[in-house]
């Protein structure tokens, strides 16, 4: 199970084609075919069905492992090469959209990225620091995927609110339980609000089905949609201005600063 073979395998699975995977990786079709054949011989099973090229159940299981393995391999390499090179004089900070906070952002060069890319970016060393947001119980840590051992520091916790349209029957409640909203109409806006997947894992249910999907990162636009009644969204309280919004019980919106431990970054510039 050479990493090269795994890399080709995930490329094949993603592309759905040997030849496309080959050109993407800079191999010939032949080499890709041999890679897959080698993996299949090694594991004693077929991993992809051909025509169409689709992973078998065994292949799907392998895919679940291959991603994290390759990610961690990259993370290890990145960490060590960083230790060798002189520390950069400019920090690159990755932000998930809702982790934005004016006072922290002022001093550094930042890039706004999807949540997962912030985590992998820090792990792989393309980012020096990451600020990721998510939901958690008060003063509990976020449930981040541990692609690599990371140092995390909570930097903010704000109330988590659900945005209702003006005329919604629950809009005047003082607080509300997340589980009570599992069957409501939701907008899935993974880039500009809390992704519904996080609600499911936080509540342990599989409700929170999306009536609508919003790919943009423009929060005011999303707020208008929610206010107009197209569906519910969850946001940290400071980002909701004047609209009817009810705090969620026992959950907060939390922002964490993540970094590779003891990689030279010990203190954080505060202005």
List residues near DNA by CB under 7 A: 2, 4, 17-19, 26-31, 33-38, 50-51, 53
Q: Please state, in angstroms and rounded to a whole number, the distance separating the CA atoms of residues 254 and 246.
A: 17
Q: Which of residues 132-161 bind its own copies (CB under 8 A)?
A: 146, 148-149
Task: Tell me whether residue 30 or residue 143 sits nearer to DNA (CB atom).
Answer: 30
CB of 65 to its own copies, least distance (A): 4
Task: Tell me phi and psi for residue 231, to 5 degrees.
Answer: 160, 170
Given its own copies, DNA, none, residue 44, with its beta carbon under 5 to 8 Å by kind, binds its own copies
Partner touching 72 among its own copies, DNA, none, CB below 5 to 8 Å by kind: its own copies
Among its own copies, DNA, none, residue 1 binds (CB under 5-8 Å by kind): its own copies
269 binds, among its own copies, DNA, none (CB under 5 to 8 A by kind): none
Smaller CB distance to its own copies: residue 73 or 243?
Answer: 73
Handedness of CA 59, 65, 71, 76 (dihedral sign): negative
CA nearest 128: which of 9, 270, 263? 263
**What span, in angstroms and rounded, lies between the C-alpha atoms of 51 and 73?**
31
> What are the Cα distances from residue 206, in Å, to 16, 147, 217, 251?
29, 25, 25, 18
Cα separation of 43 and 244, whole Å? 56
Task: Summarize as ranges the residues that interact with its own copies (CB under 8 A).
Answer: 1-3, 43-45, 57-58, 61-62, 64-66, 68-69, 72-73, 75-77, 79-81, 83-84, 146, 148-149
């Amino acid at each position: 199970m050479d990493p090269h073979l795994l890399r080709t395998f995930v490329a094949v699975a993603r592309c759905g084609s040997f030849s496309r995977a080959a050109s993407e990786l800079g191999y010939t079709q032949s080499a890709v075919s041999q890679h897959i054949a080698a993996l299949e011989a090694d594991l004693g099973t077929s991993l992809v069905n051909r025509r169409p090229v689709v992973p078998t159940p065994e292949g799907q299981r392998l895919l679940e492992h291959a991603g994290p393995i390759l990610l961690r391999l990259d993370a290890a390499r990145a960490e060590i090469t960083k230790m060798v090179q002189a520390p950069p004089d400019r920090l690159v900070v990755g932000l998930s959209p809702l982790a934005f906070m004016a006072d922290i952002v002022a001093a550094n060069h930042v890039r706004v990225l999807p949540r997962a890319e912030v985590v992998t970016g820090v792990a792989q060393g393309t980012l020096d620091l990451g600020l990721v947001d998510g939901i958690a119980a008060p003063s509990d840590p976020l449930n981040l995927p541990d692609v690599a051992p990371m140092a995390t520091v909570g930097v903010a916790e704000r109330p988590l609110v659900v945005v209702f349209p003006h005329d919604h029957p629950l809009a005047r409640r003082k607080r509300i339980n997340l589980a009570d909203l599992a069957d409501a109409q939701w907008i899935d806006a993974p880039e500009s609000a809390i992704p519904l997947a996080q609600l499911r894992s936080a509540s342990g249910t599989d409700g929170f089905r999306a009536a609508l999907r919003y790919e943009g990162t423009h929060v005011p636009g999303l707020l208008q949609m929610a206010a107009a009644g197209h569906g519910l969204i969850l946001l940290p309280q400071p980002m909701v201005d004047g609209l009817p919004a009810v705090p969620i019980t026992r959950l907060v919106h939390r922002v964490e600063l993540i970094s590779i431990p003891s990689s030279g970054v010990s203190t954080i510039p505060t202005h």
